[in-house]
């Protein structure tokens, strides 16, 4: 039975499907991260808040990197929280797409993302249902690290819901123009996936099952920190990058410490 195969290798079909959101993570991560203005122009968006584009790219890139490493390893349990995060991201993305389609602001890329998100939601849901519940595994990470993961998950939940639900108010509150509403919602959708993944990591507390999830968060936060520093050095008017830069630095540091110590937060011998 599939439920008894949780710790076994991914099937060829599962591998083939996961390649798709992995590739999307790299494409829709690197383009807004590295060339936000050009990406906005091609996509038909205003492109006023390039900082938000870069943040959305940083969040999305984390999915691509983590899924690529998980595919290389080929095991289900480390992949499980990543698949759940991908499902959450794309389900929330469909909300952003539906709003854009309903209010008539959708450009061609919104239709493309809608189709991709529908495919990814269906595929990830099927994999999770077929695989069933995760088996009970012994906790082998420090209690402090679990608390840090829980706290960071709460932050991801808040920073995911705000731009998804009230993008204009959230953007203007932080001194941004908030004209690229669809990108705000996509950024929130991507971040929301990290919140769900974090909750699963806390529930597991088994290092081999959460390692790639921690790495995924490190990629996101380290990149977001760099993006925030670049914005501040460039004299940006918004104070949001100072807040995100500090928070992402702390999150990335905690994640790196966890990776080095295997979640023990102390040197191992």
- Report pLDDT digits (tens) over 86-103: 999 999 999 999 999 999
- Take residue 208 and report the two structure tokens written for it: 């081999």
- pLDDT tens per residue, range 40-55: 999 999 999 999 999 9
What's the number of domains the chain is made of? 1
- CA–centroid distance for 219 within its chain: 10
Q: What's residue 2's pLDDT?
A: 43
Give the domain range for residue 160. 2-261
If 0-12 CB within 10 Å is exposed, 13-18 middle and 19+ buried, where does residue 57 land?
A: buried
- pLDDT tens per residue, range 23-40: 999 999 999 999 999 999
The answer to the question of residue 266 being in a domain is no
The answer to the question of residue 267 being in a domain is no
Q: What is the pTM of this model?
A: 0.94
- Four-CA torsion 194, 199, 205, 210, nearest 10 degrees: -20
Low-confidence stretches of the chain (pLDDT beneath 70)? 1-7, 267-269
């Amino acid at each position: 039975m599939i439920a008894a195969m949780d710790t076994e290798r991914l099937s060829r079909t599962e591998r083939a499907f996961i390649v798709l959101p992995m590739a999307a993570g790299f494409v829709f991560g690197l383009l807004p991260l590295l060339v936000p203005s050009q990406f906005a122009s091609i996509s038909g968006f205003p492109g006023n808040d390039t900082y938000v584009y870069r943040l959305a790219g940083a969040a999305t890139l984390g999915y691509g990197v983590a899924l690529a490493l998980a595919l290389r390893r080929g095991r289900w349990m480390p992949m499980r929280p990543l698949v759940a995060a991908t499902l959450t991201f794309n389900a929330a993305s469909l909300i952003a797409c539906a709003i854009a389609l309903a209010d008539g602001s959708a450009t061609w890329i919104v239709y493309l993302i809608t189709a991709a998100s529908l495919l990814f939601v269906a595929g990830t849901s099927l994999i999770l249902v077929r695989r069933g519940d995760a088996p009970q595994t012994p906790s082998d990470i420090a209690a402090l690290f679990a608390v840090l993961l829980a706290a960071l998950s709460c932050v991801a939940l808040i920073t995911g819901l705000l731009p998804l639900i009230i993008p204009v108010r959230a953007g203007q509150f932080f001194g941004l123009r908030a004209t690229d509403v669809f990108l705000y919602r996509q950024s929130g959708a991507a971040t929301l996936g990290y919140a769900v993944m974090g909750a699963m990591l806390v529930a597991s507390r088994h290092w081999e099952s959460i390692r790639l999830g921690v790495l995924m968060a490190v990629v996101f936060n380290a990149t977001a920190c760099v993006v925030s520093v670049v914005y501040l050095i460039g004299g940006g008017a918004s104070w949001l990058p100072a807040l995100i830069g500090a928070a992402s630095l702390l999150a990335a540091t905690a994640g790196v410490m966890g990776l080095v110590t295997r979640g023990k937060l102390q040197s191992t011998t």
